[in-house]
């Protein structure tokens, strides 16, 4: 299996959101914007957010909710095939701060949250809505030359009225997803390569954190990192995998692991198409959006998908 390339020329795409009309909205982190990819591969500007728009999800009001990471230093480096790829680095001089933003499908941008209990958000990364209409999100934090942030996981409402930290600390929490019955919250840690599961005792309340698996490393050194994730209808957790570029699928209890290679060291996110049989994937260092036209498991329809 290898993904078919849908669009090229994107500036570090992430946060794919597939719409019923065949369009796919992606964030372009390095360009500080959201773009709409048409079925024929053409790309249209949707909104300019500034900073580094990262994850995105449709909310109950039909707007997009975006985790704003505040931007990165960017570096172009050679890839294994000799071409040049785009890589994120440390906190940049023009860092805008972390935030949660709301973006309408007409391109209007507003900011909902920049802090929680007086503590600034550092680098929000990914989010998922529950049936209640609220959302869980991760804060990956930022790295600086001699220090990095300690961060966690949050739960917030889309009306800007409440936000609370529900897990702290974690090592670079990135991808986040809910099981089909919403009784389990999954969180991927980037630097450790670990996927965590937490029991959801009530909306926004979690307990009993445990590691269900670690993404398989790439030769020759066996390293791999986690990025964002999605969940299928069977409850499998599909984690975008960095260095060992591809998608790693864990069964709900972690007893079964399958890795699907992709043609990018920085495979960063995935989402199911509305048909729930195709799976879009962001190939970020090479600036491409790909799709597995037939994924081996059925997708899970996200709350509030249109």
Catalytic residue among 139, 227, 232, 264: 227
Within its chain, how far is the Cα of 123 from the centroid? 12
Q: Distances from the Cα of 121 to the Cαs of 1, 14, 41, 149, 268, in angstroms?
A: 38, 19, 34, 10, 21
Contacts 24+ apart (CB under 8 A), 199-203: 203/130, 203/132, 203/134, 203/155
Within its chain, how far is the Cα of 86 from the centroid? 17
Category of 204 on φ-ψ map: left (φ > 0), alpha (ψ -120 to 50) or beta: left
Is 293 marked within a binding site? no
SS (H, E, C) 144-170: ECCEECCEEEEEECCCCCCEEEEEEEE
Give the Cα separation of 20 and 306 in Å (integer). Answer: 6
- Are 283 and 262 in contact by the 8 Å Cβ rule? The answer is yes
Q: Distances from the Cα of 293 to the Cαs of 5, 113, 213, 260, in angstroms?
A: 10, 37, 27, 14
Is 227 marked within a binding site? yes
Residue tagged 């909902």 (tokens): 112
Cβ-based neighbours of 57, under 8 Å, separated by 6 or more: 17, 64, 65, 127, 128, 129, 135, 302, 304
Is 244 marked within a binding site? no
| Active-site residue, 81 included | no
Q: Which residues are annotated as a binding site for substrate?
A: 125
Q: Which residues are annotated as a binding site for a divalent metal cation?
A: 174, 227
Q: Which residues are annotated as a binding site?
A: 125, 174, 227
Cite the active site residues: 227
């Amino acid at each position: 299996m290898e993904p078919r390339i849908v669009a090229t020329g994107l500036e570090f795409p992430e946060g794919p959101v597939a719409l019923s009309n065949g369009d796919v909205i992606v964030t372009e982190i390095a360009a500080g914007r959201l773009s709409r990819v048409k079925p024929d591969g053409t790309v249209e500007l949707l909104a300019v957010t500034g900073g580094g728009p990262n994850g995105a999800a449709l909310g109950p009001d039909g707007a997009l909710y975006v985790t704003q990471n505040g931007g990165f230093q960017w570096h172009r480096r050679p890839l294994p095939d000799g071409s040049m790829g785009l890589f994120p680095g440390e906190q940049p001089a023009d860092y805008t701060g972390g935030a949660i933003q709301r973006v309408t499908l007409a391109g209007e941008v507003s900011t909902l949250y920049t802090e929680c209990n007086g503590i600034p958000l550092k680098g929000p990364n990914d989010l998922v809505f529950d049936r209640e209409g609220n959302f869980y999100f991760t804060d990956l934090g930022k790295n600086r030359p001699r220090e990095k942030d300690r961060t966690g996981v949050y739960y917030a409402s889309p009306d800007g009225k409440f936000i609370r930290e529900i897990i702290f600390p974690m090592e670079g929490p990135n991808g986040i997803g809910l099981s089909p019955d919403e009784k389990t919250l999954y969180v991927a840690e980037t630097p450790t390569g670990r996927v965590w599961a937490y029991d959801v005792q009530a909306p926004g309340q979690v307990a009993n954190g445990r590691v269900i698996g670690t993404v398989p490393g790439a030769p020759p050194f066996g390293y791999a990192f986690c990025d964002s994730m999605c969940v299928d209808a069977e409850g499998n957790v599909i984690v975008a995998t960095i260095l060992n570029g591809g998608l790693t699928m864990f069964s709900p209890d972690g007893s079964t692991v399958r890795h699907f290679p992709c043609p990018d060291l920085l495979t960063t996110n995935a989402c199911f198409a509305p048909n729930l049989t195709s799976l879009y994937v962001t190939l970020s260092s090479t600036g491409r959006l790909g799709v597995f036209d037939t994924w081996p498991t059925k997708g899970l329809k996200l709350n509030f998908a249109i």
